[in-house]
Structure 1
């Protein structure tokens, strides 16, 4: 059984924070004698001296410094516990799973998450990165509450957030850049295409042109970008994700006669 109380530790901290028993009494609306008694009881139970008087100021002893650090942690955790209870009582979620297609502009996502976390500091956010129909599957299975998807969802609220331009690109020295003419789909068939696997387990979906005779299929957008930027093939990649590489000249858009661009609507499910 605990021999001390949170209220005793709160009064002890108040004396330290405000420099005297008198000031602490004013700030926390307790009588000076009540605070004196609480701190004295702490010292008696613990068997150590927590405070000492230096002139008109009350100061911590060495043991008091150590106990204050522990008390601060204890009081902070107690405050969090009460805040969580308040959150639950008001119906606000304490944890939320967000399924996000890897093509979504992450810088924009991070800004939104920071705003949400500032408003709800006790909310735990878990991001699940997906490709193609992976987000829709997680929503359907109840494994995510919010989805940023490349395909419309069959139930719930769908809201278009943005359109993302997918650009056919290759390494600057790739032979596709040396043909001297605008490329057709036929020109691409004999070159290696890097494609990303659908992360859904039960409803795999193909998207875009997949006509190359040789394809390397990878699980992550980052891997696809890495392979293309090292000259191992060409791919359609989301422009926001490769913008720095395009600006640095590490990737170049293919000179295409055909429209080698794809647009994906990113939709919101709640």
Structure 2
């Protein structure tokens, strides 16, 4: 029989989170005496001192810091259990939120989404088109259920999904194509590079060679493709995304001495598989199948 309830642990964490007993009481709508009583019961049951008073501040003791780490884990796991139970109780989820890096092949993504919707016609799909760390940030902040990104996460599930080939390209009339020899990185420095901005708000990453003195940064991959097609610079772009432009003569691969082609790995991420409903599982199954067949 547990001597301390989840509610008592929650009140203990609130004191830490809001900086004192009075602040915690106001924030979680409990009386100050209830908060004091809950913390006192924990201290009595475990024979530890959780807080000490320094001036006007309520400060964790060393034992309190250790118990806070354990309490955080306990409360977070309890929240997960409730979320899983809610998913099971509701059956088929009504909404699926997915973050997909812009370099993932669009036509393949559209097919996976359409096949998932065919199985679950009432499902509402929210698609977040992300760049670099943007998908990871959305997943960590619980703004999406599933993410396809270039970076794995430490906590949660991840698997390698596919490799995307990038090639360095410019419009056929671009001055770089007039160089009658292999193009060096020094040659590139004198010309404008088009790069796509990381969609994350924090912990941004740079993708691709960024040594050009001139650089235009855009938000969408489609904008970069359009700029290159109009002769406004050079870029490393996903080969599968520019097949039409290459075939139509709107772009041409640069004859670089090295790094004219490179590969980027995409990962499939989600936090907790037990929280995913049948529609999410159907999406994952169709995604893996289409990637295996087409990439």
TM-score, structure 1 as length reference: 0.66
- Specify the alignment match of 2:267 in structure 1: 267
User: Does 2:269 match 1:254?
Assistant: no
> Across the two proteins, how many residue pairs are aligned to each other?
184
The Cα shift of 1:153 comes to 2.2
Partner Cα distance (1:257, 1:181) in 2? 9
Partner Cα distance (2:140, 2:89) in 1? 28
- Specify the alignment match of 2:103 in structure 1: 103
- Specify the alignment match of 1:212 in structure 2: 212
Which aligned pairs between 1:48-63 and structure 2 lie closer than 5 A? none
Q: Name the SS of the counterpart of 1:158 in structure 2.
A: strand
- Specify the alignment match of 1:113 in structure 2: 113
Q: Name the SS of the counterpart of 2:257 in structure 1.
A: coil
Partner Cα distance (1:169, 1:185) in 2? 13
- RMSD, aligned α-carbons: 1.4
For the 8 Å contact 1:196–1:217, the answer to whether it is kept is: yes
For the 8 Å contact 1:194–1:217, the answer to whether it is kept is: yes
User: Does 2:135 match 1:138?
Assistant: no
For the 8 Å contact 1:196–1:224, the answer to whether it is kept is: yes
What are the ranges of 5 or more consecutive residues in structure 2 without an aligned counterpart?
1-86, 271-295
- Specify the alignment match of 2:200 in structure 1: 200
The Cα shift of 1:186 comes to 0.8
What are the ranges of 5 or more consecutive residues in structure 1 without an aligned counterpart?
1-86
Which segment is superposed worse, 89-98 or 236-245?
Answer: 89-98
- Specify the alignment match of 1:84 in structure 2: none
For the 8 Å contact 1:100–1:135, the answer to whether it is kept is: yes
For the 8 Å contact 1:135–1:148, the answer to whether it is kept is: yes
- Specify the alignment match of 2:169 in structure 1: 169
Partner Cα distance (2:151, 2:263) in 1? 11
TM-score, structure 2 as length reference: 0.60
Which structure has the bigger radius of gyration?
1
